[in-house]
C-alpha cells in the first residue's frame, strides 16, 4: 500500500531540517506515494518563505520533478466535506484536515501517514492511521 505524504514530510527533501534524511529515506522507499493537490501550494509557499530566492528556484524545480512520482488526491466536494468534519472533530488546522481527508479517500487506515508535524500525527492516530515520521 502506498504511503500518504503530507507537506511537512515533503519539505524535508528540499530544506535541510531535523529528520530530513529520515524523510528522504522513507520517500525513496515507496515507489508510489500519495499526497493531496493542495500540497503543491503548501510546499511552494514554504520553499519561497524559508529559502533564498536562488535556493528556492532549485528546490521548486526538484519538487516539480518529484511531483511526477506522486499520485495526487483531488480536493473534490466529498474530500472537502470530509475535511470539514475531521476539522470539527479533531480541531486540526484547515490544510491538515484536508490532508487527513485525502488520506481517508485514498484508503483510510490502510494507508500509512507520513508526517513530521506533531499535531497532525496526533490527529492522524486518533483517526486510526499508522503514523510514520513524527
Between CA 112 and CA 131 the distance in angstroms is 6
> Whole-structure pTM over 0.75, yes or no?
yes
Phi first, then psi: give them for residue 111, nearest 5 degrees.
-105, 115
Between CA 73 and CA 59 the distance in angstroms is 22
Q: What class, spelled out in words, does domain 4-133 have in CATH?
A: alpha beta
Domain ranges of the chain: 4-133
Element (H, E) at 59: helix 53-67
Average pLDDT of span 28-38: 94
Query: How many CB atoms are located within 10 Å of the residue 66 CB?
Result: 16
Convert the pLDDT of each residue in 44-101 to its tens digit: 999 999 999 999 999 999 999 999 999 999 999 999 999 999 999 999 999 999 999 9
What share of the chain has pLDDT > 70, as a percent? 99
pLDDT at 134 over 90: no
Convert the pLDDT of each residue in 46-56 to its tens digit: 999 999 999 99
Who's near 85: CB < 8 A, 6+ residues apart?
none
What is the pLDDT of the chain when averaged over all its residues?
Answer: 95
Quick one: pLDDT band at residue 1, thresholds 50, 70, 90? low
Amino acid at each position: 500500500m502506498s504511503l500518504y505524504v503530507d507537506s511537512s514530510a515533503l519539505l524535508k527533501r528540499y530544506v535541510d531540517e531535523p529528520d530530513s534524511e529520515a524523510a528522504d529515506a522513507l520517500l525513496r522507499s515507496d515507489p508510489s506515494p500519495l499526497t493531496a493537490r493542495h500540497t503543491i501550494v503548501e510546499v511552494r509557499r514554504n520553499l519561497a518563505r524559508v529559502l533564498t530566492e536562488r535556493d528556492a528556484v532549485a528546490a521548486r524545480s526538484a519538487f516539480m520533478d518529484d511531483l511526477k512520482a506522486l499520485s495526487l488526491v483531488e480536493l473534490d466536494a466529498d474530500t472537502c466535506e470530509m475535511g470539514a468534519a475531521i476539522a470539527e472533530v479533531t480541531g486540526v488546522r484547515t490544510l491538515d484536515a484536508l490532508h487527513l481527508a485525502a488520506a481517508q479517500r485514498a484508503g483510510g487506515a490502510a494507508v500509512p501517514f507520513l508526517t513530521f508535524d506533531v499535531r497532525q500525527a496526533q490527529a492522524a492516530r486518533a483517526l486510526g492511521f499508522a503514523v510514520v515520521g513524527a
